Amino acid sequence: MTAPAPDSALPIAGALARRPDTGWVSITSGGTEIACTVRVPASADRETLLLQKLPRTPRVTSVSAHCVVHQFAGQAVGPDLHDDALTAEQIEALTPVWAAPGGARPAARLTPADAPLLEALARDGRLSYAELAATTGWPESTARRRMQELFESGSLYTDVESKPEMYGFRAAVLLWLTVAPSRLAAVGAALREHEEIVYAAAITGPTNVQALAICRDMPAFYRYLTEKLGSLDGVQRVESEPLLRNVKQLGTVRP
C-alpha cells in the first residue's frame, strides 16, 4: 500500500502499472492511496521495488508492504463458481481434476527452462500452440505437452478478468481484517463461500487477512458487511477502502 500526495496518485499508479512485475494497481481512499500487487521470483531481490525505489519517489509519503502467506479464494486456488445458472455437471466439467474433492496435483513444477513460455503467455494468454512454438523456438509438440503438464499440476492456470460494472456491480471494496489466529482457516473457508468475495488471503502485517468484495452498490456492501462478514466468529476488526479506479488488473493497463 502506497500513500502519495493526492495530486500525484494517478501518475504514480500509472508508473507502477507499467512495470512487468506488478498487477492489480488500484487507487483507493478518495484518491489518496494506491494498492498494488508485486510478483517477485524467489531468486530475485525482494526489496528492490518496495524498500528502495518507492520510498525515494517524490510525493510518496508512506509505504506499507505485506506478504501473502496463504490464499483462500481467487486466482490459482481453484474455480470460484457461485453462478446458479450453472448445473452441477457444468461446474464439474469446469473443475480441474486436482481441485476436485480428493484430487491430487501432479508433480510438475516451473523451471528456468519455462521462462520463454511464461513470458509469451504473459504478453498474450490466448496464443495458440503454433504461435507459442514460433515465439519460444520450441517444437509445437513440446509447447503443447509442457502446457498440459503445467495446467494439470496447477502451476499454470487461466484467470479471466472483466469490468464488474458491465454486469451491474459498481461497488468494489478492499477489506483488511483482523482475525484471531485460531480462526484464520475457518474465516478463510467462509470467505471463499461468500459470493461477494473474489479474492481473500492471509497476509503479514498488523491485519492478517486481505479480501476484495464486489457488490452491486454501497447499500449492498453494507448488507454484506453487517449480515455476513460481521457475523463470522473470529473477526475482530474490519477496515474497508473503496476502489475508486483500477489502473491495472491482472496484467493489462486500463485507460
Question: Concatenated DSSP letters for 56-114?
Answer: GSTTEEEE----EEEEEESGGG------TTS-HHHHHHHS-GGGSTT---------GGG
pLDDT tens digits for range 97-151 = 666 566 566 667 888 899 999 888 888 888 999 999 999 999 999 999 999 888 8
> Taking 90 as the threshold, does the pLDDT of residue 208 lie above it?
yes
Supply the mean pLDDT for the chain: 84
DSSP-derived secondary structure letter, 176: E
**Same structural domain, 30 and 7:** yes
**Same structural domain, 137 and 173:** no
d(CA 63, CA 125): 32
**What pLDDT score does 62 carry?**
83
Domain count, the chain: 3
**Same structural domain, 168 and 148:** no
Q: Which domain holds residue 106?
A: 94-153
Is 125 inside a domain boundary? yes
**Same structural domain, 171 and 228:** yes
